[in-house]
C-alpha cells in the first residue's frame, strides 16, 4: 500500500515517490481486473490514498523548475514511451504536470503508471457537432463487448437520437451474434440530491424521460445499460467528453450531446493510450460496476491499432502520405446519416465517402452554399453563405485522416472536479501542462477555445510574447459573455484581449500577439454567440508545431479551477501539422476574424459586431451575468 497522497511530500522525496508510482505495475485498472467486485474508489483509496472525490485546494508554486537533462530524464522514466523519442518540450510539460501528484496521486484522474503512454491518431474531425456524434454512432454499432461514454450535458435532441439509434442497432447486432454488450454512460445534469451524493445512479424511469430520452430497456434487450449522473456542487462540473469502445478505440472531444450551432473537434485515438483513457473512465465512475466491465483483462497495449489494418483506410493516401480525397466530389449520391434515418458505414473510408456526397454542391449551389447547408442542419437554420469562393484545394472537409506512422508519445493532461466557489484548485495537471508549453515554447503558440480569460494566462502569454514567441489565438465572439462578467470570472474575450495588449510595450510585441474571433467556413464575418448561428467550441493548444493538447478543457476560469476535464497531450509534428491545416480548412477565422489592439472586432465601417458589448459592458449586463454563470456551470 502506498502512503496517502494527502500527505504533501516535497523536493527529491516527492519526485522519488512519483517515479515509484509511475514505474509501478499497479493501477486502478489492473487491480480492478483482479477483483471486479471492488469499486474503483476503494481500489484508489487502498493504492494511493485518493479517489475521484478527493480534490483539495492546491495553490500554484511561485517558481517552477527550469528544464535540465536530469529533470527531462526523470520525466522520460515516468512515462511508458517505449521506443519513441519524446521532444524536450513534451518532456518538460510532462515533468511539470506530474509535480501535481505530490499532493494527490490521482490529481490527473488516471493512475500514475498510465499518465504517460504512446498511441496513434488515425482520424480527427473538425466540424459541426453532429459529425462527431455520427462518428461516435458508427463506432458504437461496431462494438463487440463494451462501450464507455462520458459527456457533460446530455439533452434529448437530434444529437442524442444519433446515439439512441446506434444503441438500438448495436443491441440488434449483438442479439444476432448471441451476445450482450455492457454500456456505461456518465453525464452531468445537476440535481439537488448531488449535495449529498455526487455520483447518482440514474434509473430507467429517469433516463427514458422526455428531457433525457434514452431508449427504454425493452428497446435494447441485448445491452446492459447503466447511467450515472455526476456533479460536485456547486461548481464541480463533469465537463469531460470522451468514449472508449471495446478498449481498442477512444475518442477525445469537445462536444456535448445536445443540438447547437457549434463547430467542434474530436480525435480518434488507438494504441496503449486507450488503456489510460479507460482507466480515467473507471476512476470517474467511482462506484462498483454492475455488471463488471468485460474488457477488464483485454488491454489496448496488447492489441495492434485496428484502423491501420483496414485496406480501405490505407487507400485514402497518396504515396507521399497526403490525404487524396477532400476536394474530389463523390459521383454517387449517398443518403446522409441522420437522426431517425441512420445509415451506418463499416469503415472510416465509408464515412468519408458519405461526407463527400453530403458536401457535394447541389444544382445552383456554390461550395460555400453547400457548407452553409451543412452547418445549418443541426439546429434547422436558414443562414445564407456570405463567404466568397476560396482556393478549390482548401475546401471545407470535416474528416482529417492521418497516414500510418509509428506510435507517438501521448500523455493525459486532466483535472479533477472542484466544487467550492473559489479559485483555490489551481495546481492541477491540465493547468501545469498549458502553462509549461506556453512558458517553454521557442517559436509559436496557437490556441483555439471558446473563451480565453483564466487569470494565470495573462502573465504567461505576455511573457511569451515579450521573449519573442508568436502567440495566435482564436476565440468565439460573445461566448457566454454574461457569465464571464461575474466577479472572479475575469471578463469577456474582448476585455481579456485588451488587457493582454495593454501588457505589451512595443509595436513589435503587439504584432506578435494576434487575436481572432471565430468566423465560420461559409461566412466573411464573426457572428455573436447570442444569435446561436455560428459558434465554435474547439479546445486546442499547439506549441512550436510539435506538441498539442486537445480535449474538453477551455482556457477560462471554470475549466481552470472547477470542472473535471480530460485532455491528451500529443508529441508529433505530423499530427500538429494536420490539425493546423484542418483548423484553417474548416473555418475562415484567419481571413476575416482579426481583432484590433483594443481587443474588439470591427466591420468595414468601423462598427462593432452586432451583439458585442465591447470592453465596457453596462450595469444591466453584469446583473444578467448570474444566468450566464448558471449556464456555464452546467456546461452549456
Pairing of strands 408-412, 116-128: antiparallel
Percent of the chain topping pLDDT 90: 86
Contacts of 212 (CB under 8 A, 6+ apart): 154, 155, 156, 160, 189, 202, 206
- As a whole number of angstroms, the distance between CA 42 and CA 138 comes to 35
Over the chain, what is the mean pLDDT? Answer: 93
- Report the alpha-carbon distance of residue 395 to residue 177 in Å, rounded: 42
User: For residue 95, which phi and psi values (nearest 5 degrees)?
Assistant: -55, -45
Cis previous bond, 291, omega within 30: yes
Question: Is the pLDDT reported for residue 4 higher than 50?
Answer: no
What's this model's pTM, rounded to 2 decimal places?
0.95
CA-closest candidate to residue 243, choices 284, 272, 281: 281
* Superfamily the domain 119-401 falls into: Endonuclease Chain A (3.30.870.10)
Size (the chain), residues: 636
Say whether pLDDT at 122 is over 90: yes
pLDDT for res 6? 40
Each residue's pLDDT tens digit, 356-410? 999 999 999 999 999 999 999 999 999 999 999 887 777 899 999 999 989 999 9
pLDDT of 123 > 70? The answer is yes
Least confident residue range of 65-69, 308-312, 508-512, 530-534? 65-69
| CA–CA dist 60, 57 (Å, integer) | 10
What pLDDT sits at residue 481? 63
Residue 530 C-alpha cell reads as 447570442
408 near 90, Cβ under 8 Å? no
Digit-coded pLDDT (tens) for 428-437: 999 999 999 9
If residue 187 lies in a helix (H) or strand (E), which one and from where to where? strand 181-187
- Cell digits for 60? 500554484
In this predicted structure, what is the pLDDT of residue 374? 97
pLDDT digits (tens, 9 = 90+) for 552-584: 999 999 999 999 999 999 999 999 999 999 999
pLDDT average, residue stretch 211-219: 98
In angstroms, rounded to a whole number, what is the distance separating the alpha carbons of residues 319 and 229?
A: 48
DSSP one-letter code for 503: T
Residue 12 has pLDDT above 70, yes or no: no
Cα–Cα distance, 314 to 215 (Å, whole number): 36
pLDDT category of residue 635 using cuts at 50, 70 and 90 = very low
571 DSSP β-pair partners: 547
Find out whether 237 and 556 touch, Cβ atoms under 8 Å: no
Give the model's pLDDT for residue 620. 53
Across the range 238-245, mean pLDDT stands at: 99
DSSP H helices, 408-544, are 429-440, 457-466, 481-484, 493-502, 507-512
Calculate mean pLDDT across residues 95-99: 97
What confidence score (pLDDT) does residue 3 get?
42
What number of CA atoms fall less than 13 Å from residue 149's CA on the CB side? Answer: 26
Amino acid at each position: 500500500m502506498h502512503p496517502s497522497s494527502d500527505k504533501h511530500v516535497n523536493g527529491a522525496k516527492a519526485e522519488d515517490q512519483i517515479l515509484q508510482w509511475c514505474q509501478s505495475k499497479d493501477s486502478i485498472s489492473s487491480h480492478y481486473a483482479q477483483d471486479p467486485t471492488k469499486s474503483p474508489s476503494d481500489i484508489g483509496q487502498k493504492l494511493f490514498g485518493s479517489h475521484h472525490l478527493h480534490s483539495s485546494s492546491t495553490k500554484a508554486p511561485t517558481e517552477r523548475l527550469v528544464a535540465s537533462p536530469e529533470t527531462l530524464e526523470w520525466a522520460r522514466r515516468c512515462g511508458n514511451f517505449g521506443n519513441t523519442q519524446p521532444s524536450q518540450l513534451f518532456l518538460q510539460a510532462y515533468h511539470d504536470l506530474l509535480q501535481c501528484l505530490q499532493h494527490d496521486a490521482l490529481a490527473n484522474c488516471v493512475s500514475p503508471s498510465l499518465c504517460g503512454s504512446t498511441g496513434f491518431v488515425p482520424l480527427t474531425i473538425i466540424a459541426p457537432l453532429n459529425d462527431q456524434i455520427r462518428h461516435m454512432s458508427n463506432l458504437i454499432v461496431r462494438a463487440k463487448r463494451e462501450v464507455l461514454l462520458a459527456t457533460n450535458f446530455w439533452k434529448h435532441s437530434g444529437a442524442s437520437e444519433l446515439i439512441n439509434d446506434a444503441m438500438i442497432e448495436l443491441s440488434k447486432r449483438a442479439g444476432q451474434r448471441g451476445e450482450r454488450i455492457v454500456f456505461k454512460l456518465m453525464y452531468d445534469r445537476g440535481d439537488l440530491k448531488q449535495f449529498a451524493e455526487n455520483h447518482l445512479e440514474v434509473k430507467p424511469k429517469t433516463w427514458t424521460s422526455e428531457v433525457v430520452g434514452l431508449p427504454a430497456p425493452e428497446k435494447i434487450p441485448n445491452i446492459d445499460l447503466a447511467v450515472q449522473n455526476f456533479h460536485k456542487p456547486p461548481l464541480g462540473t463533469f465537463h469531460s467528453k470522451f468514449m472508449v469502445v471495446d478498449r481498442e478505440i477512444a475518442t477525445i472531444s469537445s462536444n456535448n450531446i445536445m443540438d447547437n450551432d457549434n463547430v467542434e473537434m474530436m480525435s480518434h485515438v488507438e494504441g496503449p493510450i486507450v488503456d489510460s483513457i479507460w482507466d480515467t473512465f473507471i476512476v470517474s465512475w467511482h462506484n462498483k460496476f454492475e455488471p463488471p466491465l468485460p474488457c477488464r483483462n483485454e488491454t489496448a497495449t496488447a492489441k495492434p491499432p485496428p484502423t491501420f489494418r483496414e485496406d480501405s483506410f490505407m487507400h485514402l493516401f497518396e504515396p507521399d502520405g497526403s490525404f487524396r480525397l477532400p476536394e474530389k466530389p463523390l459521383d454517387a449520391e449517398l443518403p446522409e446519416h441522420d437522426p431517425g434515418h441512420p445509415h451506418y458505414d463499416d469503415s472510416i473510408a465509408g464515412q468519408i465517402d458519405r461526407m463527400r456526397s453530403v458536401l457535394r454542391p447541389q444544382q445552383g449551389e456554390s461550395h460555400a452554399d453547400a457548407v452553409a447547408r451543412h452547418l445549418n442542419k443541426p439546429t434547422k437554420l436558414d443562414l445564407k453563405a456570405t463567404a466568397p469562393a476560396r482556393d478549390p484545394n482548401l475546401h471545407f472537409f470535416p474528416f482529417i485522416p492521418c497516414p500510418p506512422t509509428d506510435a507517438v508519445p501521448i500523455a493525459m493532461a486532466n483535472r479533477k472536479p472542484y466544487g467550492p466557489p473559489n479559485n483555490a484548485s489551481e495546481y492541477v495537471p491540465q493547468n501545469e501542462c498549458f502553462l509549461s508549453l506556453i512558458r517553454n515554447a521557442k517559436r509559436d503558440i496557437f490556441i483555439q477555445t471558446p473563451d480565453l480569460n483564466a487569470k494565470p494566462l495573462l502573465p504567461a502569454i505576455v511573457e511569451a510574447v515579450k521573449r519573442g514567441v508568436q502567440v495566435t489565438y482564436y476565440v468565439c465572439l460573445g461566448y457566454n459573455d454574461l457569465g464571464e462578467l461575474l466577479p472572479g470570472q475575469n471578463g469577456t474575450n474582448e476585455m481579456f484581449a485588451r488587457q493582454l495588449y495593454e501588457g505589451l510595450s512595443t509595436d513589435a510585441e503587439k504584432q506578435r500577439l494576434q487575436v481572432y474571433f471565430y468566423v465560420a467556413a461559409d461566412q466573411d464575418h464573426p457572428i455573436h454567440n447570442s444569435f446561436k448561428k455560428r459558434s465554435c467550441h474547439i479546445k486546442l493548444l499547439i506549441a512550436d508545431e510539435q506538441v498539442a493538447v486537445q480535449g474538453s478543457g477551455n482556457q477560462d476560469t471554470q475549466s481552470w479551477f472547477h470542472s473535471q476535464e480530460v485532455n491528451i497531450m500529443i508529441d508529433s509534428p505530423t499530427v500538429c501539422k494536420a490539425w493546423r491545416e484542418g483548423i484553417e480548412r474548416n473555418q475562415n477565422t484567419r481571413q476575416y476574424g482579426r481583432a484590433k489592439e483594443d481587443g474588439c472586432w470591427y466591420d468595414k465601417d468601423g462598427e462593432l459586431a452586432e451583439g458585442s458589448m465591447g470592453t465596457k459592458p453596462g450595469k444591466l449586463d453584469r446583473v444578467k451575468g448570474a444566468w450566464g454563470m448558471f449556464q456555464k456551470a452546467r456546461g452549456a
